[in-house]
Amino acid sequence: MEIILALLFTVVLGFVVKHIFFPFRNVNEPPCIRGCIPWFGAAFKFGKAPLEFIKQARLKYGPVFTVYMLGKRYTFVTDEEGFQAFCTSKDVDFEQAVQQSVQHTASIPEEIFYKNRSRLYIMMKGRLSTSNLQHMPRSLCQELQKHMEDLGHEGTEELRDLVRHIMFPSTVNTLFGKDIFLTTRDNVKEFEEHYQNFDDDFEYATQLPKYFLKKWSKSKKWLLKSFEKVVLHAEETNPSDDSSKTLWQHVLDTLQGKTFSANYGLLLLWASQANAIPVSFWTLAFILSQPSVYKKVMDELEPVYRKSGKENIQLSEDDLKKFPFIKWCILETIRLRAPGAIIKKVITPMTIQNFVIPAGDLLALSPYWIHRNPKYFPEPNTFKPDRWKEANLEKNVSLEGFVAFGGGGHQCPGRWFAIMEIQILVAMLLCKYECHLLDPLPKESLLHLVGTQQPEGPCRIQYKLRI
């Protein structure tokens, strides 16, 4: 009798566990990779090399498949039909997909996030649109020039660090206000270090409790404390004239309720740096590692250099229009080092390739892999800036299949600003210094899903002031 009861208990328990952790699903759903550990699912295998996992899963299961991890279902769509649905379907929602990550990383509560997101998005899209960026090159040039002076006459450094030391303070001063909190060298260093810790573990922080991320939590706390002072300063100095405000002051004007202003400061800081810095690094690395590309870039820059020399380079919006090849290099870099995945949440069941994707799934699109589809990009693994000749960049239209800034109605509002600042950085650095790479172009690490790919190995640069 006891044995029968024990057996019965085991069967009932097994049934309950199965239905809690692996609930019953419609047979028309895509193939699902679950792993064998309840709740964790395939998380460990996926986390070891996410980009490789997606590639192998596509080969094994076809273009649409689901991965069950950490209690969530991610349905990957990797072909054209899925790509169209991701960008245009009304059955998917961006806000619901990212809300929890925003809460985990910037501590912005759900109701505050929903109240403010679309207001902020509309404001930023307008403020950072190409027609509103005309005055930016001037202040960006001044900032970049100032922070490039720290490089001295010559030196050798990791290219990634060199780019960050110049870009980080320059962008912060441009978007948040000149020297609001980056007043001394030590100040800049401390701020940059905390930002770096925050960025390094950002991807893990979207998923893991903060107890596992001590260093990250400490830096987050430090950054939030600093932003409290920045909020006060920006409010005290907020001009009435719209055109004199910084982007940060526009954010403060747009927010409903001021309790979480510092948290929004942290979020804007991360969004404005997390991709722009690695893309700048890769762009310079691609240019410097290919002599024919480097020569074309220098030919383009020659008139500027002839006009202003290396000391006081001022670039206007019109000057930037004369550097189409540098812009193509940036876009080609972004194509090859694009984010591993961007996500939206399925809010009503939808059909893709005869599969029913249930509500609640996170629909994931991989710009990294889409950009390697030869249908959109022939010779997809080759760095070919000239392919961008075909894009109507004058009208801000990129190439078909390019989704590094997101797809559909939620494209990155900072994309034109990012391209502009990278264009100026590349032009100024290469006009001012003769540069050589001391290491071959590193491969991209396949470990990250969020944001621009990181290099797998070192990439040192040697630079010397031009005579």
Residues that constitute the known binding site for heme: 412
> Can you tell me which of 144, 342, 352, 430 binds ligand HEM, judged by CB under 6 A?
342
Which is closer to ligand HEM, CB of 402 or CB of 463?
A: 402
Sheet holding 64-69, edge to edge: 32-33, 64-69, 72-77, 362-365, 342-346, 92-93
Helix (H, G, I), strand (E, B) or coil at 382: coil
Q: What is the DSSP string of 309-369?
A: TTT-----HHHHHT-HHHHHHHHHHHHHT--S-EEEEE-S-EEETTEEEPTTPEEEE-HHH
Nearest Cα neighbor of 311 from 431, 425, 174, 143 is: 431
Residue 374 backbone phi and psi in degrees, to 5: -65, -15
Q: Does 339 bind ligand HEM (CB under 6 A)?
A: yes
| Only segment of 3-11, 193-201, 226-234, 271-279 that touches ligand HEM (CB under 6 A) | 271-279
How far is Cα 61 from Cα 304, in angstroms, rounded to an integer? 53
> Can you tell me which of 82, 137, 406, 442 binds ligand HEM, judged by CB under 6 A?
406
Q: Does 269 bind ligand HEM (CB under 6 A)?
A: no
Which is closer to ligand HEM, CB of 6 or CB of 122?
A: 122
Q: Does 99 bind ligand HEM (CB under 6 A)?
A: no
Q: Does 177 bind ligand HEM (CB under 6 A)?
A: no
**What is the smallest separation between the CB atom of 283 and ligand HEM, expressed in angstroms?**
9
Between residue 435 and residue 464, which ones bind ligand HEM under the rule CB under 6 A? Answer: 452
How far is Cα 324 from Cα 394, in angstroms, rounded to an integer? 10
Binding-site residues for substrate, please?
275
User: What is the Cα Rg of the chain in Å?
Assistant: 24
Between residue 105 and residue 134, which ones bind ligand HEM under the rule CB under 6 A? Answer: 117, 121, 124
Q: Does 169 bind ligand HEM (CB under 6 A)?
A: no
| Only segment of 62-70, 161-169, 257-265, 406-414 that touches ligand HEM (CB under 6 A) | 406-414
**What is the smallest separation between the CB atom of 338 and ligand HEM, expressed in angstroms?**
7
Strand bridging mode 460-465 / 433-437: antiparallel
How far is Cα 233 from Cα 186, in angstroms, rounded to an integer? 20
| Residue 63 structure tokens | 């273009």
> Can you tell me which of 116, 226, 272, 283 binds ligand HEM, judged by CB under 6 A?
272
Buried/exposed code over 156-194 (b: 16+ C-beta within 10 A; e: otherwise): eebbbebbbbbbbbbbbbbbbbeebbbeeeeebeebbeb
Q: What is the DSSP letter of 445?
A: P
**What is the smallest separation between the CB atom of 270 and ligand HEM, expressed in angstroms?**
9
Count CB atoms within 10 A of the CB of residue 305.
16
How far is Cα 413 from Cα 268, in angstroms, rounded to an integer? 11
> Can you tell me which of 102, 205, 252, 279 binds ligand HEM, judged by CB under 6 A?
279
Count CB atoms within 10 A of the CB of residue 95.
15
Which is closer to ligand HEM, CB of 41 or CB of 339?
A: 339
Residue 292, H or E segment: helix 291-308
Which is closer to ligand HEM, CB of 40 or CB of 383?
A: 383
| CB contact set of 137 (below 8 Å; sequence gap of 6+) | 315, 316, 317, 319, 320, 420, 424
| Only segment of 23-31, 102-110, 185-193, 409-417 that touches ligand HEM (CB under 6 A) | 409-417
| Only segment of 184-192, 195-203, 375-383, 411-419 that touches ligand HEM (CB under 6 A) | 411-419
> Can you tell me which of 108, 315, 418, 430 binds ligand HEM, judged by CB under 6 A?
418
Helix (H, G, I), strand (E, B) or coil at 136: helix
Q: Does 334 bind ligand HEM (CB under 6 A)?
A: yes
Q: Does 285 bind ligand HEM (CB under 6 A)?
A: no
Q: Does 336 bind ligand HEM (CB under 6 A)?
A: no
Q: Does 340 bind ligand HEM (CB under 6 A)?
A: no
| Only segment of 107-115, 230-238, 349-357, 415-423 that touches ligand HEM (CB under 6 A) | 415-423
Q: Does 252 bind ligand HEM (CB under 6 A)?
A: no
Which is closer to ligand HEM, CB of 121 or CB of 204?
A: 121
| Only segment of 251-259, 284-292, 386-394, 410-418 that touches ligand HEM (CB under 6 A) | 410-418
Buried/exposed code over 394-403 (b: 16+ C-beta within 10 A; e: otherwise): eeeebbebbb
Residues forming the site for ligand HEM (CB under 6 A): 94, 117, 121, 124, 271-272, 275-276, 279, 334, 339, 342, 404-406, 410, 412-415, 417-418, 452
